[in-house]
């Protein structure tokens, strides 16, 4: 589905065990596919069994892949997901905290409290729980990649909960990175711009309805490279942060947005 040139796979994750939350989704699945191509074993964690089974099929579904059904906002589920990965692979070296939901678009004066709390539950509590449980067992020298957004560094009107939650992930990352640096574990956030996938299409539909304009065109006009990213382009940057290619990079914010936030 995504073009991976053979020469780009260098065995950078040979022998490593990785856990990807939101692993049945667009960026999570593209990441798993690249990780597997580079020699990793991957546990895919997501909400529902059926999309997870489809995802496992798409990446080959062999014994290097483990699927785990769970909700990142539920501490027992996250603990069980980490335990399942360690049980299958005997170790855990990389966490990609990627699960996320596109939040509602509404003016702050109309924004629902439940929607606000639900957005924070997935993006902030979910990342906190994944880090809490994965870092108890993560190998020294391992890597944590938190999938934030350009919305974690800048803002658009009408999406206050998503913007605040994505900014909060940077705070989590900075604090946790300092906490685990002594173990040689690196923790970074990645900040994709708009991706050409269903998640972003949903956001753009809601923003278009709110503003009366064409949000997709507006985003493309705001991106110097003039287009949305492919999920595989985000996955390649996640791969970089996951491997020793980024061995002196921690507590950093890697922007992959076609220049949008400059
Ligand atoms: N698509 C974009 O344009 C874009 C841009 C910047 C950042 N991001 C971020 O990238 C990440 C992945 O998004 P995507 O574009 O692949 O969207 P996606 O909807 O394809 O994937 C997200 C996955 O997370 C899972 N998920 C959601 N809530 C969960 C929960 N409570 N427990 C377990 N799993 C849960 C979903 O089931 C889904 O499979 C998200 O954190 C998103 O905020 C996306």
Residue 244 belongs to some domain of the structure: yes
Please state the atom number of ligand 1 nearest to the C-alpha of residue 27.
16
Residue 216 belongs to some domain of the structure: no
- For the stretch 102-116, pLDDT in tens is 988 889 999 999 999
pTM, 2 dp = 0.96
3-state secondary structure of 20: strand
Rounded-to-10 torsion of CA 67, 69, 72, 77: -110
Nearest CA to ligand 1 atom 23: 22
Please state the atom number of ligand 1 nearest to the C-alpha of residue 151.
6
Question: Which residue in 35, 162, 219, 240 is the catalytic one?
Answer: 162
Task: Kindly report the length of the chain.
Answer: 262
Q: Which pLDDT score is estimated for 1? A: 45
By most ligand atoms within 8 Å of CB, the mutation choice from 19, 22, 84 for ligand 1 is 22
Is 98 touching ligand 1 by the criterion CB < 6 Å?
A: yes
Average pLDDT over residues 185-205: 96
pLDDT at 238 over 90: yes
Whole-angstrom distance, CA of residue 31 vs CA of residue 87:
22
Whole-angstrom distance, CA of residue 244 vs CA of residue 234:
18
Range of the domain at 43: 17-194+234-256
- For the stretch 147-168, pLDDT in tens is 999 999 999 888 999 999 999 9
Whole-number Å distance, alpha carbon 88 to ligand 1 midpoint, is 25
- For the stretch 91-104, pLDDT in tens is 999 999 999 999 88
Please state the atom number of ligand 1 nearest to the C-alpha of residue 51.
39
Rounded-to-10 torsion of CA 95, 41, 247, 140: 70
Q: Which pLDDT score is estimated for 214? A: 95
Average pLDDT over residues 175-191: 98
The structural domain count of the chain equals: 1
Poorest-confidence range of 42-46, 187-191, 201-205?
201-205
Residue 200 belongs to some domain of the structure: no
Residue 57 belongs to some domain of the structure: yes
CATH number of the domain where residue 148 is located:
3.40.50.720
Nearest to 82 by CA among 49, 54, 56, 45: 45
Average of per-residue pLDDT values in the chain: 95
Residue 202 belongs to some domain of the structure: no
HSE-CB of 253 using CA atoms within 13 angstroms: 22
Residue 24 belongs to some domain of the structure: yes
Dihedral of CA 59/79/122/155: which sign? negative
162 is catalytic: yes
Residue 211 belongs to some domain of the structure: no
Q: Supply the Cα-derived Rg of the chain in whole angstroms.
A: 17
- For the stretch 200-229, pLDDT in tens is 999 888 888 878 999 999 999 999 999 999
Nearest CA to ligand 1 atom 2: 195
Residue 2 belongs to some domain of the structure: no
User: In what helix (H) or strand (E) does residue 41 lie, and over which residues does it extend?
Assistant: strand 41-46
């Amino acid at each position: 589905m995504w073009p991976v040139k053979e020469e780009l796979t260098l065995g950078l994750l040979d022998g490593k065990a990785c856990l990807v939350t939101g692993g049945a989704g667009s960026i999570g699945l593209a990441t798993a596919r690249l990780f597997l191509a580079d020699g990793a074993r991957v546990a895919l964690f997501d909400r529902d069994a059926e999309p997870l089974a489809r995802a496992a099929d798409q990446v080959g579904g062999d014994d290097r892949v483990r699927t785990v059904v769970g909700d990142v906002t539920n501490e027992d589920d996250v603990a069980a997901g980490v335990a399942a990965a360690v049980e299958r692979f005997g170790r855990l070296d990389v966490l990609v905290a990627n699960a996320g939901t596109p939040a509602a678009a509404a003016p702050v004066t109309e924004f629902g409290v439940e929607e606000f709390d639900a957005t924070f539950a997935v993006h902030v509590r979910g990342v906190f729980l994944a880090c809490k449980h994965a870092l108890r067992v993560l190998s020294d020298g391992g890597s944590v990649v938190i999938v934030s957004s350009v919305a974690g560094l800048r803002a658009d009107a009408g999406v206050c909960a998503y913007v605040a939650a994505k900014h909060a992930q940077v705070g989590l990352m900075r604090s946790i990175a300092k906490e685990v640096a002594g173990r040689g574990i690196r923790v970074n956030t990645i900040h994709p711009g708009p991706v050409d996938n269903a998640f972003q299409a949903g956001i753009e539909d809601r923003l278009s309805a709110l503003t009366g304009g064409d949000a997709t065109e507006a985003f493309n006009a705001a991106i110097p490279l003039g287009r949305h990213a492919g999920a595989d382009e985000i996955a390649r940057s996640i791969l970089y942060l996951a491997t020793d290619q980024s061995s002196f990079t921690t507590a950093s914010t890697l922007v992959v947005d076609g220049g949008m936030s400059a």
